[in-house]
Homo-oligomer: A and B are copies of this chain.
Amino acid sequence: MTSLNQIGQQAKTAAHKLALLDTSTKNHGLQSMANALIANQATILEANKRDLANANEMPKKFLDRLMLNEQRITDMANGLRSITQLSDPTAQIDRGWISDDGLQIIQRRVPLGVIGIIFEARPNVTADATGLTFKSGNAVILRGGKEALQTNLAIAKVLREALVQDNLPADAIQMVSDPSHESAQEMMNLTDYIDVLIPRGGRGLIQRVVKTATIPVIETGAGNCHVYIDKDADLKMATAITVNAKVQRPSVCNAAEKLLIHKNVAKQYLPTIAHALIDHSVQLRGDQTACEIVPEIAPATTEDWDTEYNDLIMAVKVVDDLDEAINHINNHSTHHSETIITNSLERGRQFQEQIDSACVYVNASTRFTDGGMFGFGAEIGISTQKLHARGPMGLHQLTTIKYEITGNGQVRK
């Protein structure tokens, strides 16, 4: 088994080579990796069968995430191909100027270097993350869940062989094959080799990485998102957006978990909205006023306001005014996505200015917080922190800058 230090060194060496590749060479590599996935799908599916057999005691939901089939492999290959269509951020010069001393200063985009990704059951992350890190000129060190190890290793092997065929560095992609807790710890402290660590998975995994890692982490994916229905809201729009934000895909981070409603319209609106949610099998919890208005709402506990359910559950709170709504959200949200439903321009502006979250909506569903929906083409996650990246992270967020300064003998006086 290759040691993590060795993996780190190999990644760093590969990263220096990747940083110098032009866009068409990288696009060719992506096509070759896509072709190789299709050509080797039998091998990948066989490895996946072994993982599934070992995991047969796991819950059905888990097995569904772990399971691959021809369609899912085709989707992975198409994902790699679609990344060839995205523009290459490292081919970009952000800006340039001549300093007072006559130096030409160019600020250009360059890859971050080596990106670590720690993820859970879904083996498609291996191909998806590789596509984005490779296109942006980074080397990647992947560490998947132990239940998907055989599948992940098979996919990584296929991708690496495709790169070698293209005369590209295989170590652009490395999969950690040691599934132990110790190797995870070691990876989170690989300061000399990993430039940034992006955990992908449930809240437990992400919090563990944030609290343990001494290498820089980008925190993604925690979404305790709020819908606030203002006194000036349209009832039909409020109902449609609340239902969409809650039920269209309840397991994802941009689904709404909390409903706040202005007291002036609570009696009139809440029964309609609550029953629309209940019709979609949503279990409702609420504060005292909400429970009084709609008897089907069960009492919420203090913990509810801070909980991301990722399920068909929603907690409802009646607020006195917009200020109370804003304060509640700023105190309890994970700073991901929040929306206000209102016809008031002033109140919409106030909400957008004062809410301290990555994406702040007026009259739209929180479900639009997504690299694809934003037009970024693809995403590696949604950052809920403020440093480096905030909101949907596409290729651009996998890069940094470098200043290239050219003079003709300037010295500092």
Contacts and interface: CB of A to CB of B under 8 A. Distances in A.
Interface of A: 16, 19-20, 97, 99-101, 103, 105, 112-113, 195-196, 210-211, 214, 216, 218, 234, 237, 240-241, 243-245, 248, 330, 348, 352-354, 356-365, 367-369, 373-375, 385-388, 390-391, 400-412
Given A373-B99, A406-B361, A16 B390 contact: no
Nearest to A243: B411
How many monomers of this chain does the complex have? 2
B387 A195 contact: yes
A387 B388 contact: yes
Top 9 nearest A-B pairs by Cβ distance?
A364-B407, A244-B411, A367-B412, A388-B388, A386-B400, A364-B410, A237-B409, A352-B404, A359-B403
Contacts of A356: 16, 19, 113
Nearest to A216: B387
Given A362-B405, A364-B409, A354 B387 contact: no
15 contacts: A101-B373, A113-B356, A211-B214, A240-B411, A352-B406, A361-B406, A362-B404, A362-B406, A364-B406, A364-B408, A364-B409, A365-B412, A368-B412, A373-B412, A387-B387
Main secondary structure of the interface of A (DSSP, over half): mixed
Given A196-B387, A368-B103, A354 B244 contact: no
Given A218-B387, A363-B409, A368-B405, 13 more contacts: A19-B354, A112-B386, A196-B386, A234-B409, A237-B409, A240-B409, A359-B405, A360-B404, A364-B410, A364-B411, A373-B412, A387-B388, A390-B402
A26 to B, nearest CB: 16
A248 B352 CA distance: 49
A234 B410 CA distance: 13
Contacts of A348: 406
Contacts of A405: 359-362, 364, 368
A195 B405 CA distance: 31
A20 B99 CA distance: 33
Interface core residue of A99, A359, A368, A391 (most chain B CB under 10 Å): A368
A205 B20 CA distance: 35
A79 B234 CA distance: 51
Contacts of A402: 357-360, 390
A101 B407 CA distance: 48
A364 B403 contact: no
Contacts of A359: 402-403, 405
A4 to B, nearest CB: 18
A299 to B, nearest CB: 27
Contacts of A400: 386-387, 390
A363 B101 CA distance: 13
A348 to B, nearest CB: 7
Contacts of A113: 356, 386
A281 B89 CA distance: 46
Contacts of A386: 112-113, 195-196, 400
Contacts of A101: 368, 373
